[in-house]
Copies of this chain bind each other. A is one copy, B any other.
Amino acid sequence: MREGIVAAAAELVFKSGARETSLDDVRHHVGASKSQLYHYCADKDEVPQAVIEFQGSRVIAEQQAELAAVNSWERLLAWRNKLVLLAEAYGKIGGCPMGSLANELAPYRQSHRTALTAGFQAGAGEIERALLALQACGALSAKFDPKSLSLLFLSTIQGGLLFAKLNGSAEALAKGLDQLIALIRNQE
A interface vs B, CB < 8 Å?
15-17, 19-20, 93-95, 99-100, 102-104, 106-107, 113, 116-117, 120, 148-149, 151-152, 154-160, 162-163, 165-167, 172-173, 175-176, 179-180, 183-184, 186-187
Q: Are B165 and A151 touching (Cβ within 8 A)?
A: no
Contact between B156 and A152 (Cβ–Cβ < 8 Å)? Answer: yes
Copies of this chain held together in the complex: 2
**A148 → chain B closest CB, angstroms:** 5
Kindly state the separation between the CA atoms of A15 and B108 in the bound complex, as whole angstroms. 10
Residue contact B152 to A117, C-beta cutoff 8 Å: no
Chain B residue with the shortest CB-CB distance to A162 = B158
Q: Is the CB of B120 within 8 A of A107?
A: no
Q: Which residue of A20, A148, A157, A158 has the most chain B CB atoms within 10 A of its CB atom?
A: A158
Q: What residues of chain B lie closer than 8 Å to A180, measured between beta carbons?
A: 152, 183
Which 6 A-B residue pairings sit nearest by Cβ, starting from the closest? Answer: A155-B159, A158-B159, A103-B103, A183-B183, A159-B159, A19-B19
B166 touches A151 (CB 8 A): no
- Cβ–Cβ contact B179 & A103, under 8 A: no
The answer to whether B165 and A103 touch across the interface, beta carbons within 8 angstroms, is yes
Residues of B within 8 A of A113 (CB): 166-167
Known: A155-B163, A156-B159, A183-B184. A95 touches B106 (CB 8 A): yes
Q: Which residues of B contact A172 (CB under 8 A)?
A: 151, 155
Residues from chain B with a CB closer than 8 A to the CB of A158 are 155, 158-159, 162-163
Residues of B within 8 A of A151 (CB): 163, 172, 175-176
**Is the CB–CB distance between B104 and A166 below 8 Å?**
no
